[in-house]
Amino acid sequence: MPPVLSVVVAFTASDGLGDTLAALAAAGTGIGTYGTGLRVVMVDAGALDGADTVAKEYAAADERFALVRGEAGEAPRNVGVRHATGSYLAFADPGDLVSPGPLVASLERTGSDLALGRAAGVRYPDGLFTTARTELSLKSEPLLLHHRTLGAKVFRRSFWDRHGLSFRDGPEADLLLVAAAHTLAGRTDVLPDLVHGHPAPVSRDPVALLGALAEASAHLAAHAPRQRAEFDRSAVIGELTGLLHAVAQVEEGREDLFEAAHAYLSTVSRDLFHHGPVAHRMRCHLTAEGLLEEFLEVTRYEQAWGTRAGVIQRGILWRTWYHHYPQLFDNRVPQELLRAAQEMTFAAGVDEVEHVHGSLLRITGHAYVELLDLSGTGDGELRLTLVEAGGRRRVPVDHQRVDRPDLTARSAQAAAAYRGGGFAAIVDAARLDPGEWRLEAVFAHRGVRRTAFVAGPADLRRAHPAGVRVGAGLWAQPVCAGTFALRVRPLRALVTGCSVEDGDLVLTGWSPEEDFPLLAGSAEAPLELTGEDGFRARVPLAVLGGSAGTGELPLRLGSAPLTAGDLPPVASCGLVLRRDEDGLLALARRPAGPRVLRAEPEGATGVLLSGDLGTGLWLRHTGTGELRALPCDADGDVPVRYTELVPIRGGEWDLVDVEGTAATIDRAAAGRLPGPRRCGRAEYDLRVTARDGLRLRIRPGLRDEERGGFHQRRLAEQHYPRLRGRPLFDRVVFEASEGTRCSGSPRALYEALRERRPDLDLLWIARDASFAVPDGADCVVRDSAEHYAALATSRWVVGDGLMPEWFRKREGQVYVQTWHGAPLAGLGFDPREPRGFAEAARQERIAADVAQWDHLVSPNAYSTQILRNAFEYDGPIVESGYPRNDVLAALDLTEASKAARARLGLPSDARVILHDRALDVAALRAEVEPGTVFLAAADRDPTDLCLAADLLVTGVSALMFDFAVTGRPVYCHRPVWHRKYFDVVLEGPGPVLDDLGDLAAALRDPCGSSAGFAARFCPLDDGLASARVLGRVFDRPRDDRVFGVSRKKRKRKAR
């Protein structure tokens, strides 16, 4: 019996091939009702890295897999098609993870020519995959042309042969074939199933891709001219977005890439250029016209102004809003492309719904137009109306405008303020008749008028507000999913209380219904009437626990669903009591892991979590996987006190148990979680995820008036210049790693200054709560108003990287640069080519910062000349050794090592192997002595790491220069060879060991020393580097130094 489906896999390399074949082997078991179901034709298109070995293994082990050789002059996929024998045909590339089963099943049912499904990571237009649809044609559904993933399609073989479909030879051959298939297919099935994925990024030739787009467009012009515009539109808002961005970002090959883009876009209708962001619209037009220099000018302006470019009104009779770009006044760019209407969208949403009393609800929200300045609550006019479904009844809503600086802070732009866009309204649900009522917002300001139904809260803590009882027989429920609505419906059964007694759920409530049992799913529960329409019921949770499955068991009183407002949380016998968006009760399977049933704020400094939390919770960083314990208190509750977490890394932390299972929270308890809280140098925000999980977000502790592009622009352009007119104070500002650490050479200089110059004020810059502030120092948050003030009025600035872009050294200030790391590669203005706009902007920022340096600290003579050339710096250099390594040169290194291990939580008697590159730790641990600790160097204080480690395994990084000061062994394992300034074989600190076995042997019996390397490259790291810097910078009389002068003035003074 022939196979049902043949899948052609052409390969030239082994990367991802094994994963693709394994996925096909697993997916093939469900394909077809008769015969073998699946045949995979593997085509060797000239693999040189042993990929055919993987294919041969599958062909030998599984009769469904066949290996064939490609033929010269013929596209490899065509060779595979000739060997395919199935009724259906599909294609996969190495790295693809495909599941074609649903597509094959659909074709068998419908008899269509072609079936397609969703590919992971691809954005499709609205309407293409809303539901499964069959027997479509390109005429009835032009959106089919947006689907261009070959691996997410299955073809009927008879359709393929009837039309003689084939691939042309060369790259990007998919596009032309896919376009031809869509024009020829009489019937196409569309399934919303995810059938294709490609986890690894795919490298594509941009010139070839543009050529393929032009070919496909020309084919559609000849065979489906009415649908060609849809294909071109999808390309303009899809592939062209990235391709034109690439033209702007690269220099090598820019002209060829621009010409290829011009060749395609010159054939495209100019009406299609009105889609996408304004800069992209102009790029498309200028590319179609072949104006490369004007194209680059758009990019330069966007790079310089970015989100600061606002909108302006133009016109005499009809005032129209345009983006304020220089091209607005250039006749070569149509003004229509700069119209701001599609960017000036109406942002209207509810942020929170609260029950006031009786039938009154307080609704707070926002309403503003993007890019339209709304600085005060008196700007513009806002009208709110509750509109019944169908629009037949309308109820005006009284409201007040509220000052909301957080609206500007959370917007991704720097051109307009939205702080006047908040509102608060009181809604009396008793005024509403039964039905669904949506909140309509109408806003008018400066000639702009927008109308929209208000959206529900984006914050999931506020997504399930309780409803209110209206009179004797109605219930008003706020619904926050999607568009906000108030649903007013008859109330037939209301639960007013709940508890768990002896494993049973006891419900009390009210209902006018009589002689009806209480049902949990299909199971009956004993019901007791308590008079005055009251009832009391016992639901046996232990019995129901095994029947809930993965779904929910609705609770009903006869045919009347049970409604509830705020109820105590219930979690027992593997079940939880849950209220849905309509306020209806159901029992659901309790999620695995800890369950938070109550959450109470503890002032502004934390939250107390209660429930089924076991022995406690853990914070797990979503980026690094780092863990922090949250132990239970004496009552079994878990307090999350923000002040006790410091120091803690910024970012997002999931709450999990000791086994890594995510904690979940009851929806009623989620509503009790507070909003963001500023505590010290960080803002803490315990949020709810889509699956009722808990995630703590930690970010810089900026006020709303300081956060966001607009507020930062105001601080830099208005606040900072005023502060620069104030006197300078004898204060030293320290910053390390852009405020994320308190370490390195700035920390060493701080410690030395603290002892040597107690008369100076010492101040650290911190991005958040990532480090503990050292004793005797003050600290301000980076980018806060205090940060601007500190850099404007402090006499000395010490850093190990670039200062903020807005920093302008003033006369009398001294800027000391202790640049982090050692000169290996990519330093300063390297790499010097190719340089796109992003690289040019980076180098412009470096040049602006270097021009302000008064002293550059160099660790040795070897580094001095490299630093001068890399930064094009001709100012004073303090060749002192690295101050951060003073502690590594301590006389009593043993005691310093013990202290460092204690700080890192390492055993004092174990051998510690420090490594700065990825290692097969499991294999190495089996080869070394028991108890050996492997310590990864990623994102930790290098000084403590060097002190704690007995030896270093390096891929050749700056860390080896620091570690060599200790004199301990260093091994170079699979080093990075492209180091511009350093030859690891001739100058390395230890032997080069590429083989893992050789490295394991060396680690078993470590020997040797890095002292010789240190003597050559670290001769000044003798514990006195900080003293040398202080003697050069801080101890000299002020008259002997030059403050705040340019290089020209410095040279003139020297002459």
How far is it, in rounded angstroms, from Cα 440 to Cα 365? 12
| Fold agreement between 724-884 and 887-1020 | yes
Integer angstrom CA distances of residue 164 from 137, 181, 258: 19, 10, 34
- Read off the pLDDT band of 1055 (50, 70, 90): very low
Best CA proximity match to 945, nearest among 888, 1018, 1022, 1002: 888
How far is it, in rounded angstroms, from Cα 113 to Cα 156? 5
Q: What phi, psi does 865 have (nearest 5°)?
A: -70, -35
What pLDDT does 1054 receive? 39
Asked if residue 908 has pLDDT above 90, the reply is no
From the CA atom positions of the chain, what is the Rg in Å? 34
- Read off the pLDDT band of 920 (50, 70, 90): confident
Residues 466/355, Cβ–Cβ less than 8 Å: yes
What's the CA angle centered on 857, arms 855 and 863, to 5 degrees?
Answer: 125
Q: Helix, strand, or coil here: 1006?
A: coil
- Read off the pLDDT band of 836 (50, 70, 90): low
Asked if residue 521 has pLDDT above 90, the reply is no
- Read off the pLDDT band of 977 (50, 70, 90): low
How far is it, in rounded angstroms, from Cα 820 to Cα 1040? 28
What confidence tens digit (pLDDT) does each residue in 575-608 have? 889 898 899 999 988 888 999 999 999 988 999 9
Residues 630/562, Cβ–Cβ less than 8 Å: no
The single residue listed with the structure tokens 């500002």 is: 733
Asked if residue 35 has pLDDT above 50, the reply is no
Which region among 645-654, 778-787, 980-989 has the lowest average model confidence (pLDDT)? 980-989
- Read off the pLDDT band of 406 (50, 70, 90): very high
- Report the CATH fold assignment for 887-1020: Rossmann fold (3.40.50)
What pLDDT does 834 receive? 46
Asked if residue 1050 has pLDDT above 50, the reply is no
Asked if residue 797 has pLDDT above 60, the reply is yes
What pLDDT does 775 receive? 87
What confidence tens digit (pLDDT) does each residue in 681-703 have? 999 999 999 889 999 999 999 99
Which region among 62-71, 200-209, 332-341, 504-513 has the lowest average model confidence (pLDDT)? 200-209
What confidence tens digit (pLDDT) does each residue in 356-382 have? 999 999 999 999 999 999 999 999 999
Higher pLDDT, 162 or 1048: 162
Lay out the sheet containing 651-656: strands in order across.
627-631, 616-621, 651-656, 694-700, 682-688, 677-679
Which region among 743-752, 851-860, 1028-1037 has the lowest average model confidence (pLDDT)? 1028-1037
Which region among 483-492, 696-705, 800-809, 857-866 has the lowest average model confidence (pLDDT)? 857-866
How far is it, in rounded angstroms, from Cα 851 to Cα 506? 75
How far is it, in rounded angstroms, from Cα 641 to Cα 607? 7
Which helix (H) or strand (E) covers residue 77, if one does? helix 76-83
Asked if residue 415 has pLDDT above 60, the reply is yes
Asked if residue 1041 has pLDDT above 50, the reply is no
Q: Domain residue spans in the chain?
A: 5-203, 231-314, 346-486, 492-589, 595-698, 724-884, 887-1020
Q: What phi, psi does 122 have (nearest 5°)?
A: -105, 130
Asked if residue 1053 has pLDDT above 50, the reply is no
CATH number of this structure's domain 724-884: 3.40.50.11820
Integer angstrom CA distances of residue 642 from 59, 606, 639, 736, 860: 59, 6, 9, 23, 43
Which region among 32-46, 793-807, 1030-1044 has the lowest average model confidence (pLDDT)? 1030-1044
- Read off the pLDDT band of 903 (50, 70, 90): confident
Q: Is the pTM of this model over 0.75?
A: yes
- Read off the pLDDT band of 985 (50, 70, 90): confident
Asked if residue 146 has pLDDT above 60, the reply is yes
What confidence tens digit (pLDDT) does each residue in 704-727 have? 999 999 999 999 999 999 999 999
Higher pLDDT, 931 or 984: 931
For the 346-486 domain, the top CATH level (class) is mainly beta
CA torsion through residues 972, 975, 980, 984, sign: positive
Residues 400/367, Cβ–Cβ less than 8 Å: no
- Is the domain 5-203 a CATH 3.10.20.70 member? no
What pLDDT does 49 receive? 67
Average pLDDT rounded to a whole number, residues 319-326? 92
Asked if residue 306 has pLDDT above 90, the reply is no
How far is it, in rounded angstroms, from Cα 641 to Cα 652? 16
- Read off the pLDDT band of 825 (50, 70, 90): low
First to last CA, the chain: 95
What confidence tens digit (pLDDT) does each residue in 277-305 have? 999 999 999 999 999 999 999 988 988 88
- Read off the pLDDT band of 549 (50, 70, 90): low
Q: Helix, strand, or coil here: 871?
A: helix
How far is it, in rounded angstroms, from Cα 1017 to Cα 989? 10
- Read off the pLDDT band of 442 (50, 70, 90): very high
Asked if residue 672 has pLDDT above 80, the reply is yes
- Mean pLDDT in the chain? 89
How, if at all, do strands 494-501 and 563-564 pair? parallel
- Amino acid at residue number 386: L
